[in-house]
Chain A
Amino acid sequence: MKLTRRSLLESGWKLGGGFLALIAGWTSWELLRPLKAGGASGKIKLGSASSYAPGTATYVNAARLWVANADGHLFALSQKCPHLGCRIPFCESSGRFECPCHGSVFDIGGEWISGPSPRGMDQHPLSIEGDILVVDTSQRINGPDPGAAVFLTPATGPSCSGKG
């Protein structure tokens, strides 16, 4: 195409407009993009590892997570349901985690049993320093896929939601 003043202006305003839109988009993104949560995350001491008996789930308020003992294996389970983020309570009578929102059920190891959750409960890595259990809340590991479950501990009693 021959470059005339007319054609230059005609493509010029499109280019200019596109450039302005780009700048506007970038500026808006910088203004609106979420700021990374500071502080809070990191390593949290959970006390003696032996204080978490098999078959129990203990809520740790400071870290907003559950420490569960499945057949001697300790897990730090995120309280946030992998489905849609409701907080999952532990049902003492069934010995399972039962999400109140859409009824996902997890065994004591956080493994998926039933319900709409796409996977087991998310976990945070645990380590033992001396005798002290330490959780690293800055890291999150996706819960196991339904097929990858190993414990699948049976319910110890009636479910809290009234389901058999």
Chain B
Amino acid sequence: MTEASDTVVDVRNDVLEPQDRPVPEGWFDRVRHGEAWRSMFRHPHLDTPRGRALQSFSNVFLHVYPVKVPARVLKVRYSWRLGYIASVLFGVLLATGVYLMFFYTPSVTSAYGDMQQLRTGVGFGQLIRNVHRWSAHLMVLVVILHLVRVFFAGAYKRPRQFNWVLGIVLLAITLGFSFTGYLLPWDQLSYWAVTVGTNLVNYIPVLGDTLRDLLIGGEQIGQATLLRFYALHVAVLPVSLALVLMIHIWRVRKDGFAVKRGGVGAFAEESTDVTPIASVTAVTNVAADGRRVRLLGVVDRESVTAEERLTDDTVFTWPHMLVRHVVVGLGTVAVVLTLGVLFAAPLRGLANPNETPEPAKAPWYFVGLQELLSHFDPLVAGIFVPAGALITLIALPYIDRNPATESRYRKVAITIFSIVLLVALVLTVLGALFRGPGWEFIAPWQHSYLEL
């Protein structure tokens, strides 16, 4: 019984509440020490290492973060904060999207009018719409850049294969958001971009027609399509994105940040799946089959060797990481707000099934595909190329078995990826900037037909 009595906690002297806490000064301090405050926030505000750890543990939002992170994670060059910026943009889109929902009816007779009304009759309505639109474009861009960063860092390799797959799912959902959102204003731009986009589905062998009809709810884009896209845009996709993002971020913690640790060269913080170098393996548990095992799921640091512990390179998330995230988050909001103030989201004429505007362009992230379509058979350009790219991307971490992460040992992978990236970029720029009516070549300084 002696052991047990050691662990008994004196409730009057709760470990969370230091006995020698200073006498509250001022009204805010008094509120913070009052019963109401302490019933809301489980942790005291303590500027000690223990206090900082407790802040992270006992707060539902902060516990997304690890209590301590390797110092290198703080460097901008680690992630360029792209995943984080994408999350912030998602937050901005949720907030502005809910405002828009108060003024928008998904009906072909009123949707377009609602958009005009937002411009003239609702205080700050146009601003909210602009911010929503520009954040959406930016989010697609940032997610793509995030993917590129993860690729070049080799961060998709063991043990992060599955998180890469989740990332592709997130990219697909992000594109789904943009595409369904594009239809909602029900103007000429929406109508024809979605007509062209959904007709691609027709080319899928056998099932194509049925799938397209299922997607647009009939044979023609109409009321059923608008309602379907709206339901996807405001309910199905947000919930899906939130769910997958949750798992994605949880896996970032569980798989460990993809940074090199102080001199030892280990590639993971928490993971035990990687065997960095022989000497590290030697000091940890070796299972019968030669692979290292974790004793218990909760023993995170099993993989951290004695050598590493000597040179502890971790810092507290609170405040080091948090302050950076607050700054980057505010910066992101500042950027989309500025864009929203400076540039109005486009609104062309009311959707007219009897008149195709010239040229009818898809949104910029699909315009490379449209460019490809003007050169090749749609079965090739519209189905085989995108489906092939998607499948290759998903399978990439399982195909690329090379464990190296430094670029000099990954010449083949990097070369192929760079070429594909370059081709996609050229096609996109060509389609977005250098195409005019009839998809004829036209220089952007003569006339720009770029539509956002």
A residues adjacent to B (C-beta < 8 A):
32-35, 37, 61, 64, 79, 83-89, 98-103, 115-116, 118, 159-163
Pick the interface stretch among B51-59, B211-219, B278-286: B211-219
Given contacts A32-B217, A86-B360, A163-B438, 10 further A-B contacts (CB under 8 A): A32-B214, A33-B213, A33-B214, A35-B217, A64-B353, A85-B196, A87-B353, A100-B357, A116-B374, A116-B377
> Contacts A118-B378, A163-B438 hold; do A86 and B217 have CB atoms under 8 A apart?
no
The contact of A100 among B200, B218, B437, by CB within 8 Å, is B437
Q: How far, in whole Å, are A116 and B374 apart by their CA atoms in the complex? A: 6
B437 and A162 contacting across the interface, CB-CB below 8 Å: yes
B438 and A98 contacting across the interface, CB-CB below 8 Å: yes
B353 and A100 contacting across the interface, CB-CB below 8 Å: no
B373 and A102 contacting across the interface, CB-CB below 8 Å: yes
B356 and A86 contacting across the interface, CB-CB below 8 Å: yes
Q: Does B220 contact A (CB under 8 A)?
A: yes
Q: Mark B194-230, 1 if CB is under 8 A from A, else 0.
A: 0110111000000000000110111110001000000
Q: Does B29 contact A (CB under 8 A)?
A: no
> Which residues from 416 to 452 on chain B have a C-beta closer than 8 Å to any C-beta of chain A?
436-440
B438 and A103 contacting across the interface, CB-CB below 8 Å: yes
B378 and A83 contacting across the interface, CB-CB below 8 Å: yes
> Contacts A33-B214, A37-B219 hold; do A102 and B354 have CB atoms under 8 A apart?
no
Q: Does B121 contact A (CB under 8 A)?
A: no
In the complex, what residues of B have CB within 8 A of residue A161's CB? 358, 437-440
In the complex, what residues of B have CB within 8 A of residue A118's CB? 377-378
> Contacts A34-B214, A118-B377, A163-B440 hold; do A101 and B355 have CB atoms under 8 A apart?
no
Q: Does B370 contact A (CB under 8 A)?
A: yes
In the complex, what residues of A have CB within 8 A of residue B199's CB? 83-85
In the complex, what residues of A have CB within 8 A of residue B373's CB? 83-84, 102, 116
A86 and B192 contacting across the interface, CB-CB below 8 Å: yes
The contact of B358 among A32, A100, A116, by CB within 8 Å, is A100
Q: Does B359 contact A (CB under 8 A)?
A: yes
The contact of A34 among B200, B219, B370, B437, by CB within 8 Å, is B219
Q: How far, in whole Å, are A115 and B214 apart by their CA atoms in the complex? A: 29
**Nearest chain A residue, comparing its CB with the CB of B197:** A84
B residues adjacent to A (C-beta < 8 A):
192, 195-196, 198-200, 213-214, 216-220, 224, 353-360, 370, 373-378, 436-440
**Nearest chain B residue, comparing its CB with the CB of A159:** B438
The 5 tightest CB contacts between A and B, nearest first, are A161-B438, A85-B199, A100-B358, A84-B199, A103-B439
**Using a Cβ cutoff of 8 Å, how many contacts connect chains A and B?**
91
The contact of A160 among B353, B370, B438, by CB within 8 Å, is B438
Please give the distance in Å from A104's CB to the nearest CB on chain B: 9
**Nearest chain B residue, comparing its CB with the CB of A91:** B438
**Nearest chain A residue, comparing its CB with the CB of B375:** A116
> Contacts A34-B219, A37-B219 hold; do A86 and B377 have CB atoms under 8 A apart?
no
- A selection of 8 A-B contacts at a CB cut-off of 8 Å is A84-B200, A87-B354, A101-B196, A102-B373, A102-B439, A118-B378, A160-B438, A162-B436
In the complex, what residues of B have CB within 8 A of residue A35's CB? 217-218, 224
Please give the distance in Å from B364's CB to the nearest CB on chain A: 16
In the complex, what residues of B have CB within 8 A of residue A89's CB? 356
Q: How far, in whole Å, are A132 and B356 apart by their CA atoms in the complex? A: 30
B218 and A102 contacting across the interface, CB-CB below 8 Å: no
**Nearest chain A residue, comparing its CB with the CB of B213:** A34
Q: How far, in whole Å, are A82 and B228 apart by their CA atoms in the complex? A: 24
**Nearest chain A residue, comparing its CB with the CB of B200:** A84
Please give the distance in Å from B231's CB to the nearest CB on chain A: 10
B440 and A162 contacting across the interface, CB-CB below 8 Å: yes
Q: Which of A32, A33, A83, A84 has the most CB of B within 10 A?
A: A84
Q: How far, in whole Å, are A163 and B439 apart by their CA atoms in the complex? A: 10
In the complex, what residues of B have CB within 8 A of residue A159's CB? 438
In the complex, what residues of A have CB within 8 A of residue B377's CB? 116, 118
Q: How far, in whole Å, are A118 and B199 apart by their CA atoms in the complex? A: 13
A101 and B354 contacting across the interface, CB-CB below 8 Å: no
Q: How far, in whole Å, are A61 and B358 apart by their CA atoms in the complex? A: 20
Q: How far, in whole Å, are A73 and B198 apart by their CA atoms in the complex? A: 33
**Nearest chain A residue, comparing its CB with the CB of B353:** A87
Please give the distance in Å from A160's CB to the nearest CB on chain B: 7
The contact of B218 among A37, A87, A160, by CB within 8 Å, is A37
Q: Which of A32, A85, A159 has the most CB of B within 10 A?
A: A85
Please give the distance in Å from B51's CB to the nearest CB on chain A: 48
In the complex, what residues of B have CB within 8 A of residue A88's CB? 356
B218 and A103 contacting across the interface, CB-CB below 8 Å: no
Q: Which of A35, A37, A103, A116 has the most CB of B within 10 A?
A: A116
**Nearest chain A residue, comparing its CB with the CB of B439:** A103
Q: How far, in whole Å, are A86 and B437 apart by their CA atoms in the complex? A: 13
B378 and A101 contacting across the interface, CB-CB below 8 Å: no
B438 and A61 contacting across the interface, CB-CB below 8 Å: no
B354 and A64 contacting across the interface, CB-CB below 8 Å: yes
B374 and A102 contacting across the interface, CB-CB below 8 Å: yes
**Nearest chain A residue, comparing its CB with the CB of B219:** A37
Q: How far, in whole Å, are A83 and B202 apart by their CA atoms in the complex? A: 10
